[in-house]
Structure 1
Amino acid sequence: MIPLWNQKASKRADGIVLWDYHVICIQKQKDANSSPKVWDLDSTLPFPSPLASYLRETIRPSFKLFSEFDRFFRIVHVPIFLRCFASDRRHMKDSAGNWTSQPPSCQPIVAEDGTVHNLNEYMEISAAEALRNVEAGTVDAVFSEKFGVVVSESQLEEFFSLIP
């Protein structure tokens, strides 16, 4: 569980929510002078938001957390994610097999290789997976690895600054 601020699902004035996972899109502009943009469908911030302001307002790295709330990010290149991700929506059912929320009307997502569910492999992140250093070679891995790379919150902005 990680805290994120300025979230529509919040019932609090500061917009804080504890998510078990949260998916956003960070778009790196082709124009080298443009900052990366964050597309967060659950955010109350401008849509899209510049990465630096999104981090400051949503991640709030200055807010000191207990170590169990350290935030890590799995970064997966969109074309790889679209080919490899799969969800049969089992995470939306309770232990008796009943829906906890109404599922989307579209068909479940099946990966190109026929995998029907690998959401947990994308969601489960440990500190041990995080890159020790962000450098060009580690950034290149995001373009080839099925599960991308994992960075800490302090590495996120640096990571996107190194993407060509």
Structure 2
Amino acid sequence: MNKFFKSKVFVFAICVAFLSTMLAHFALYNAQNTQQANAFATQTTSLQVKVVDLDGTPIKQAKVFVAETQQTFYTDLHGYTTIMHVPFVDTPLCKVTDGEFSFVNLAITCDGFKDVVLFNCVVFKNRTRQGPVVMMFDKNQTNAPFVAITEVPPDKWTKEFLQKIKECY
């Protein structure tokens, strides 16, 4: 065999070994992430959303999409969704204090109204949250393409968090 051919075979063998190692690491990483996601999915809590217009009139047949579960729920004639079971994830933010809450993200749409995105919708461990009440703008009332809302943690948690910060510094 000539020297050129031997070097090509050697490079090919190194590439195969490298790719095999990368695929094995990827498979292990994927298995760990799947296991972690399944652990998160075992804890759930519940939420019921009410959707109204700016006058407080309930909006029937509004779609409420839960990003974490990829599920869509519809409001009834009183503007309420059914009780939605959503994941409860212990996040580092919640562990700073005795916070027994988590977050989910919602997208609310309905014909004739501007889309609403609700980030960090607070949900509580072992109890159903009745609310939030989401107000939707008539499509003709604003030029905004959508409305984005971000909820903050409960007041009790925020006060405890600020107190801990003051104690540390």
TM-score range, shorter chain: under 0.3
TM-score (norm 2): 0.22
Q: Write 1 or 2 for the structure with the bigger share of strand.
A: 2
Q: Write 1 or 2 for the structure with the bigger share of helix.
A: 2
TM-score (norm 1): 0.23
